[in-house]
Structure 1
Amino acid sequence: MSATPDNSMIRPFTVEVPEAELKALRERILATRWPEKETVDDQSQGPQLATMKELARYWANDYDWRKVEARLNSLPQFITEIDGLDIHFVHVRSKHENALPLIVSHGWPGSIIEQLKIIEPLTDPTAHGGSAEDAFHVVIPSMPGYGYSGKPTETGWGPDRIGRAWVTLMKRLGYDRFVAQGGDWGAIVVDLMAAEEPEGLLGIHTNMAGTVPAEIDNLFQKNIIGAANALENLPAGLSNEERQTCEQLDFAWKHVTYALQMAARPQTLTGLADSPVFLAAWMIDHDAASLALISRSFAGVPEGLTRDDVLDNITHFWLTNSGVSAARLYAENKFSFWGVKGTKIPVAVSVFPEEMYRAPRSWAEKAYPKLVHYNRLDKGGHFAAWEQPKALVDEVRAGFRSLR
């Protein structure tokens, strides 16, 4: 009689990329068939040809994947099955006795690569300008369809289900009380986790708060299909800051065409699995500020993100063939990107100036009845953990201090 396998078992994991795969990647990059130069002098048509050619040149000739592979393998990595799907995660315990367990959720086109810079300051604060009372045990999972996590073979893995999986993961690791942090999709995941008020979740921190009032959010949803002019039909009584935020939302909705494509027809993006340069162009064209930041890094002006930072993440997607499987999360989603989710437990909000929309305090206070922290920072954008790790670490420490 054979033993029944234990699906809840936690298995150690190591990244081991064969040299042949890296050689094949370089060959594909060098064989790229390029389009003609854009017909404008800015990035209004997307990543410029000069940026992409320099990215490809550096990727094929100078970039070294083994450095980030060694960094990943220096961390405790594991895989466990949750709800029928393998979930990959990094789990670093602090040496400090009363550390607070924290699960950090990435977004698109992010990955666990996005959070590597914040692990040591969070787990070992005394070595990074903090005190032992600021310590966290850190868990960073790869989203379903991303990186080394399993790829769903059926529909149903939306951000709400992912949030429930994260609760299961934390309990499986023995944490009966914990907090959660997220940006981009991760912000939606932790917001939905909090809305369900699972036992043990003390509070959340978000750097992409879901605060847009329903009547305004609905206007912009209709605006996408031309059924309403959102800016001309805003409700009366908005403050100047709230009106400026609506202008930011208008710009954001007009520049998230990648999200609409992935939500409607992710399988059309088959080229993401076939062309590394297409994958790179698709991933860096997330929002105007991030694209400008990344373009400057390939022009020799790194500001928060280096060339290697950018290519570590893109190469991670390429080697795990996650381009299309990650895109399907948009098709699975049934929730507003920036709308109110009904969260009632404690929430900390950090607003970075180059975020796609900057949540006003007035909206945050209404969206989150238990708002325990709100701060507007003077530098940083959408990928805060990646771009401004020190600032985000300081915000996480401050945001959760009252919940310990």
Structure 2
Amino acid sequence: MTQSIEPFRCDVPQSMLDDLKARLQRTRLPDQLTDAGWDYGTERGFLDRLCAYWRDEFDWRSAEARFNRFAQYTTQIDGENVHFYHVRSPEPDAVPLIITHGFPGSVAEFLDIIGPLSDPAAHGGDRRDAFHVVAPSIPGYGFSGPTRTKGFGLMRAAAVNSRIMEILGYDRYFAQGGDFGSAISSRMAMLHPDRMIGLHLNFILGQPADPDKPLAGLTEKETAALQWKRHYDERESGYQSIQSTKPQTLAYGLTDSPAGLAAWIIEKFRTWTDCDGDVEALLGMDRMLENIMLYWVTGTINSAMRLYYESIGPDRAATPEWQKIEVPTGHARFPAEIRPTPRLWAEQMYNIVYWNELAKGGHFAALEQPALLVDDVRKFCRALR
């Protein structure tokens, strides 16, 4: 039976935008201690400015035009609605590439890299580096949400991605991802290693070869990075505990209040990027709000957070034991990444054939440093085409 695929365009009703503006006008902010800065969470003054800009200056219709520049589609897979970009390259020798976002990101992260990846010649690159680009919204995120069934974790998301590529007629392809996109792309490689030419990750997991001597074989620089990671876990991982145990309770406030939703997401943009404390200068209000709006207009912050519950929470569905991924794997190591896994550790879980340490950038590589990410994907894939 032929799979039904429907063209999609982003077109939010004006009534929803009017409701959003009214809610922003009625925003009630909490108190903040003097000189607290960002120590306790999103800083009140910054959020106040963001909400004022969102209410009075942000142009959603221009953002919609950016979303609609590339061909989008929806289909039904595993009982869920699935939204994805599919941008075929004009180059006859282009190779398929599926790129997957994470939390609290969205396909909005990829709007500045789809063009250079699919049509490099039009963006000052080499036409031999062209890809047919597929960029799904993870089920539960944006126009792929909300999810409708319990137990929709990372392995099911990987199966959805694999099915998208089947539907599109791609039997051999590259996969790229960061954050949850890294986990999903990795599980695609576990499910169908024969289909994947190579796996490129800008966020990578790993484990020491000897758990009793975890620092054995590491450089001084790698050891220092792990100390930083310990500090991160102590001070910055509370969101994960909440989302993996009681996402529904949190979702009421974030679904009802645009200021609450923005505060929850903006904190991660600031903490996880290479912005030296000034996330506005790095990303700009418009790019941050494009991403936040995808959660708001679709009402999917709950189902997006629920992926944590289903994947790492107490009632997560049983998943196969991790098997070392033998698909050739490359890692773009951005210096402000929240999980700076040493190469020695990564090699316990992946067939690492490429490892590149970048000079700048953080967790949201496609948003922060789109040109650097595109260049790194091209370098990795070039040797495997």
Same-fold call, TM cutoff 0.5: yes
Aligned positions, number = 377
2:341 is aligned to 359
2:152 is aligned to 157
Q: Pick from 240, 247, 272: which aligns with 1:259?
A: 240
What is the distance in 1 between the residues matched to 2:155 and 2:224?
Answer: 30
Say whether the 8 Å CA contact 1:258–1:286 is kept in structure 2: no
Range moving further from structure 2, 237-246 or 261-270: 237-246
Quote the RMSD (CA, aligned, Å). 2.3
Say whether the 8 Å CA contact 2:84–2:136 is kept in structure 1: yes
2:141 is aligned to 146
Equivalences for residues 3-402 of structure 1 within 5 A: 8-213=3-208, 234=214, 238-254=218-234, 255-269=236-250, 270-286=252-268, 289-290=271-272, 293=275, 296-298=278-280, 302-303=281-282, 305-334=283-312, 342-369=324-351, 371-402=352-383
CA deviation vs aligned residue, 1:295-323 (integer Å, no higher than 9, x gap): 6254xxx22x1110001111111011011
Residue 239 of structure 1: how far off its partner (Å):
3.5
What is the distance in 2 between the residues matched to 1:350 and 1:235?
Answer: 22
Residue 100 of structure 1: how far off its partner (Å):
0.8
Secondary structure, counterpart of 2:244 in structure 1: helix
What is the distance in 2 between the residues matched to 1:316 and 1:21?
Answer: 13
Which segments of 5 or more consecutive residues in structure 2 lack a partner in the other structure?
Answer: none
Aligned in 2, Cα 1:288/1:311: closer, same or farther, shift over 3 Å? closer
Say whether the 8 Å CA contact 2:140–2:300 is kept in structure 1: yes
Secondary structure, counterpart of 2:144 in structure 1: coil
What is the distance in 2 between the residues matched to 1:287 and 1:18?
Answer: 28
Secondary structure, counterpart of 1:127 in structure 2: helix
Aligned in 2, Cα 1:237/1:134: closer, same or farther, shift over 3 Å? closer
Give the partner amino acid of 1:257. Answer: G
Runs of 4 or more above 6 Å deviation = none
Say whether the 8 Å CA contact 1:8–1:82 is kept in structure 2: no
CA deviation vs aligned residue, 1:255-302 (integer Å, no higher than 9, x gap): 11111100010001111110000000001122663378396254xxx2
Aligned in 2, Cα 1:193/1:393: closer, same or farther, shift over 3 Å? same
Secondary structure, counterpart of 1:403 in structure 2: coil
CA deviation vs aligned residue, 1:201-232 (integer Å, no higher than 9, x gap): 1121000011233765xx9xxxxxxxxxxxxx
Query: Identity across aligned pairs (percent)?
Result: 41
Say whether the 8 Å CA contact 2:108–2:290 is kept in structure 1: yes
Aligned in 2, Cα 1:56/1:197: closer, same or farther, shift over 3 Å? same
